[in-house]
Amino acid sequence: MVISFNSIKGGVGKSTLAVNFAAWLAKEGHDVLLVDGDEQETASDFTAWREQTIGNTGYTLVNMTGANLRKQVEQMKPKYDHIVIDTGGRDTTSQRAALSVADVSMIPFAPRSFDLWTINKVIEVIDEVQAIRAEPIIPYVFLSRADIKSADNREVAQALATYEQITYVPYAISNRKAFSNAAGVGLAVFEMVQPDLKAVAEINALFNHVLHGNHITTGA
Ligand SMILES: Nc1ncnc2c1ncn2[C@@H]1O[C@H](COP(=O)(O)OP(=O)(O)OP(=O)(O)O)[C@@H](O)[C@H]1O
Ligand SMILES: [Mg+2]
């Protein structure tokens, strides 16, 4: 499966979730390629930290940006079980290329910076992408960096669930220090010595849903 992380707004947690997903798939025994499609190179920095912290990263990292990304991912596809693509929030060329080649798009929304312009823009891009694809992409939207207790989450969730072009996944990723702490040393949240079990349960629920189309209970 080719899974691309996309967004119109920056800083919504794409890179954090992309690197956690790559490490999570590797832990499950899959052969994984992580594509850093962002010139900011967040996923590459994470992977460099990871090499220092645990040596073997468990996945292969490549940097590909711009229109080339599509062709290169097509070529790599037969060699891996799964390809995870991290794209930059503002780099539309890489995002479009990733959306043209991926099976699934993961589109995080941070509730506090949610606005209608962003969702409308996402719908517009998805409509354009679907029109030129042979097989439709599955566009998953979900809450990321969500407040642990907040009415904002519910309102945004309800708004996201009303669009037929996108598939709302009710497994939110909350704003938890564990995500940034782990990423800072090149680890996924489940690899920490004392993992934040709620953070681990959240990614398990989201990633299991994407991979298997089902979920496990979050325990939260
Ligand atoms: N669930 C979370 N809880 C707490 N902090 C988070 C979470 N997700 C991301 N962050 C932090 O928020 C910041 C932005 O996250 P990240 O780099 O993953 O976003 P992004 O969507 O990739 O941004 P960009 O559009 O610039 O590529 C980082 O400092 C990261 O550590
Ligand atoms: Mg990023």
Print pLDDT tens along the chain (220 aa). 999 999 999 999 999 999 999 999 999 999 999 999 999 999 999 999 999 999 999 999 999 998 899 999 999 999 999 999 999 988 789 999 999 999 999 999 999 888 889 999 999 999 999 999 999 999 999 999 999 888 889 999 999 999 999 999 999 999 999 999 999 999 999 999 999 999 999 999 999 999 998 555 444 4
Mutate to test the pocket of ligand 1, among 105, 180, 189, 202 (most ligand atoms within 8 A of CB): 180
Secondary structure class of 216 (helix, strand, coil) = coil
- Which pLDDT belongs to residue 157? 92
Of all protein residues, the one whose alpha carbon is nearest to atom 30 of ligand 1 is 180
Distance from residue 197's CA to the centre of ligand 2 (Å): 24
* Contact call for residues 204 and 175 (beta carbons, < 8 A): no
Distance from residue 68's CA to the centre of ligand 2 (Å): 19
* Contact call for residues 160 and 141 (beta carbons, < 8 A): yes
Of all protein residues, the one whose alpha carbon is nearest to atom 29 of ligand 1 is 180
- Which pLDDT belongs to residue 214? 58
Distance from residue 10's CA to the centre of ligand 1 (Å): 8
111 lines ligand 1 (CB under 6 A): no
- Which pLDDT belongs to residue 35? 98
Report how far apart the first and last C-alpha atoms of the chain are (Å, whole number).
28
- How far is residue 216's CA from residue 209's CA, in Å, rounded to a whole number? 8
Number of residues assigned to the chain: 220
Q: Which residues contact 161 (CB under 8 A, 6 or more apart)?
A: 168
Tell me which residue of 169, 86, 166, 173 sits closest to 118, measured CA to CA: 166
180 lines ligand 1 (CB under 6 A): yes
- Which pLDDT belongs to residue 220? 40
Strands 173-174 and 167-168: unpaired
143 lines ligand 1 (CB under 6 A): no
- How far is residue 157's CA from residue 51's CA, in Å, rounded to a whole number? 37
11 lines ligand 1 (CB under 6 A): yes
CATH of 2-212, one of 3.30.390.10, 3.90.1150.10, 3.40.920.10, 3.40.50.300: 3.40.50.300
Of all protein residues, the one whose alpha carbon is nearest to atom 18 of ligand 1 is 13
Secondary structure class of 185 (helix, strand, coil) = coil
